Amino acid sequence: MTSASRPTTKTAVLAAAADTSPVAAGPVAARPRLALPAGVLPFQLNWPYIIVISAYHGAALLAFMPGYFSWSGLIVAILGTHLCGLFGINLCYHRLLTHRGLKCPKWLEHSMVVVAMSCLQETPARWVAIHRRHHQFSDEQPDPHSPLASFFWAHVGWILVHQPELARLGIYERYAKDILRDRFYVALERHGWLVWINLIQMPLFFGAGFAAAWLSGETTAAAMQTGLSIMMFGVFVRTVLVWHITWAVNSVTHLWGYRSYETDEDSRNNIIVGLISNGEGWHNNHHADPRSARHGLRWWEMDNTWLTIRFLAWIGLATDVVAPSAHLAGRRAGARLITRGSNGVPAE
Ligand SMILES: [Zn+2]
Ligand SMILES: [Zn+2]
């Protein structure tokens, strides 16, 4: 298997000085299309995911119809998208759990995991395992979601079919052993909490919307309609928006944008994705230096997740924050970076 012969370095390293060949950054269309990961058959569909993802998109569209739409609902969706995406997915699942770029008190880490799970993006162990595999084989065939196979595949297609390599239990052993040392995360795997958290939040959003409207003097019928609107926007619109932002990091930022580092995969810094994702779109910076908790490096590379981590550190709720690598800062211009082979986590 190809993985057996891969280097097992734990950090991105500068390639040998002799290797100064530029990484091909030209149009991806000129390249041969990357094969889908081993064992993937395009029509072995993952029906539960297809049904849920379709239903959420349908409900999100319905939220904009008369009878469901409200401006307060839209505000809840936008705020919820940024807060849940930033704390749950970016800060917790990605920078903290996957790359160990910081530490937080367990109560805070676990709370942020619950927020991440409310975005319906897998359990922590599975999300981490898939993402570490992405770093290790980025834009090569075993990458679970490379856009060099196709844009649609990288954006959502990879979730809609069975991927035998991701279904094997060995993926946890190989990529998420550290996560499953925490009994809280083992419990989340075992008892269907991903489903429960996503079901429980529906009446919570409805109840909050209903209570706020009723207490402000609306009739019971009007308050019920407000509650329904808050639920539609707070759950379905928000989840769909966070999905597409996360998916755009997988698809868009391996296709379009500029490259600050000549990494050996196709990662890019994409301004639009960087801004809407609160910092995850500076993806070339991230692949070059995966453990760093800071992804936006230049002054215009706004990284709200990094600013939040700095704030948490300032009030004592984040420690061991991994700063950008000094090794990278002093690199020779144009030097090629080998980032594949590392799954972006510290050696144990
Ligand atoms: Zn990537
Ligand atoms: Zn990463």
Distance 99 CA to ligand 2 centre (A): 7
Mean pLDDT of the chain: 89
Distance 123 CA to ligand 2 centre (A): 16
Scored b (16 or more CB within 10 A) or e, 28-54 reads beeeeebebbeebeeeeebeeeeeebe
- How large is the average pLDDT for residues 49-63? 98
Confidence check: pLDDT of 340 > 90? no
Distance 221 CA to ligand 2 centre (A): 47
Mean pLDDT check: name the lowest of 20-24, 43-47, 133-137, 203-207: 20-24
**pLDDT tens-place string over residues 220-267:** 999 999 999 999 999 999 999 999 999 999 999 999 999 999 999 999
Confidence check: pLDDT of 17 > 70? no
Q: With contact defined as beta carbons under 8 Å apart, do 240 and 71 qualify?
A: no
Strands (E), the chain: 13-14, 262-263, 336-338
Give strand pairing partners of 13. Answer: 338
Confidence check: pLDDT of 185 > 90? yes
Mean pLDDT check: name the lowest of 34-43, 64-73, 96-105, 207-216: 34-43
Nearest residue to 326 (alpha-carbon basis) of 304, 306, 297, 284: 297
Distance 22 CA to ligand 2 centre (A): 23
Burial of 186 (0-12, 13-18, 19+ CB in 10 A): middle
Proportion of the chain above pLDDT 70, given as a percent: 89
Q: Say what the pLDDT of residue 69 is.
A: 96
Give the pLDDT band of residue 4 (cuts 50, 70, 90).
very low
Distance 241 CA to ligand 1 centre (A): 19
Confidence check: pLDDT of 45 > 90? yes
**pLDDT tens-place string over residues 125-161:** 999 999 999 999 999 999 999 999 999 999 999 999 9
Instruction: Tell me the backbone φ, ψ of residue 269, rounded to 5 degrees.
Output: -95, 115
Task: Give the C-alpha separation, 84 to 73, whole Å.
Answer: 16
Confidence check: pLDDT of 25 > 70? no
Q: Say what the pLDDT of residue 205 is.
A: 98
Q: Which-ligand-closest: CA of 138?
A: 1
Q: Which-ligand-closest: CA of 342?
A: 2
Q: Which-ligand-closest: CA of 134?
A: 1
Q: What is the pTM of this model?
A: 0.89
